[in-house]
Amino acid sequence: MTSVVVLISGRGSNLQAILDAGIPVSAVISNVAGAGGLDIAVKRGIATRVVKHGDFPTREAFEAVLAAAIDGYAPKLVACAGFMRVMTVGFVERYAGRMLNIHPSLLPSFTGLHAHERALAAGVKLHGCTVHFVTADLDAGPTVIQAAVPVLANDTADTLSKRVLRQEHVAYPRAIRWFLDGKLVIANGKVNVEGNDAQYLFDDRP
Ligand code: GRF
């Protein structure tokens, strides 16, 4: 029970960063057939599964099969990395305290979709990403680490998302390593790291 199951829906650049950091991943599960991240896993000899949400009549039916697939690997941690499904309370509770997500904003700002576009529209000067425990409220669980980048005057959603993504690839493996090493302490809905490692990053490279 020392490994991680990663849930994806798309290209899998966070998955790649997690693997490059040497995190032990036992399986990658996608709700989208042909997701780019599946190829990344296959090339590394990691087990892959596809559970298509559209094949099921209800969210619960989809999640029952997804949970059975996850539990087959008995992971210590479930890491959502660009997994684009809203989960039911039952599913979230099954993995309470052992499921992380990465969201491309400095939460609690800009939960949900199109975070970069909304950050630009709001005129914020700092943007970034957040790794958090998954709870029943969308993009709202206890924060493990945040990484900030400046928003530049000529940024587009594309340039801004690339700058944030570079930080995602640093922050997420770091958070997962802390979890696997048993260093995360949650109390009163807040997360601390034993040893007081910095739970923030800032990178103002353009
Ligand atoms: C990332 O921006 C992540 O924060 C968001 O979805 C995107 C996934 O990208 N949840 P990738 O598939 O890891 O490249």
Per-residue pLDDT of the chain (206 residues; tens, 9 = 90+): 579 999 999 999 999 999 999 999 999 999 999 999 999 999 999 999 999 999 999 999 999 999 999 999 999 999 999 999 999 999 999 999 999 999 999 999 999 999 999 999 999 999 999 999 999 998 899 999 999 999 999 999 999 999 999 999 999 999 999 999 999 999 999 999 999 789 999 999 88
In this prediction the pTM is 0.97
- C-alpha 172/C-alpha 130 separation (Å) is 9
Alpha-helical regions (H) of 36-130? 36-43, 59-71, 89-94, 115-122
Residue 206 confidence (pLDDT):
82
CA angle 82, 83, 87 (to 5 degrees): 140
Residue 1 confidence (pLDDT):
52
Q: Which of 13, 127, 129, 143 to mutate to test the pocket of ligand 1 (most atoms within 8 A of CB)?
A: 13
**Residue 179 is which amino acid?**
F
Residue 47, strand partner residues:
27
Please work out whether the CB of residue 82 comes within 6 Å of at least one atom of ligand 1.
yes
On whether the CB atoms of residues 68 and 47 are closer than 8 A, the answer is no
Residue 78 confidence (pLDDT):
98
Q: Which residues contact 10 (CB under 8 A, 6 or more apart)?
A: 32, 35, 36, 37, 82, 84
| Residues noted as catalytic | 103
- C-alpha 64/C-alpha 70 separation (Å) is 10
Please work out whether the CB of residue 116 comes within 6 Å of at least one atom of ligand 1.
no
Structure token digits, residue 117:
């576009």
Residue 58 confidence (pLDDT):
97
- C-alpha 131/C-alpha 79 separation (Å) is 10
Please work out whether the CB of residue 128 comes within 6 Å of at least one atom of ligand 1.
no
Q: How many residues does the chain have?
A: 206
On whether the CB atoms of residues 30 and 93 are closer than 8 A, the answer is no
**How far does residue 84's CA lie from ligand 1's centre (Å)?**
9
Burial of 175 (0-12, 13-18, 19+ CB in 10 A): buried
Rg from Cα positions in the chain: 16
- C-alpha 93/C-alpha 50 separation (Å) is 22
Residue nearest to atom 8 of ligand 1 (CA): 82
Structure token digits, residue 175:
């958070």
Residue 84 Cα: closest atom of ligand 1: 10
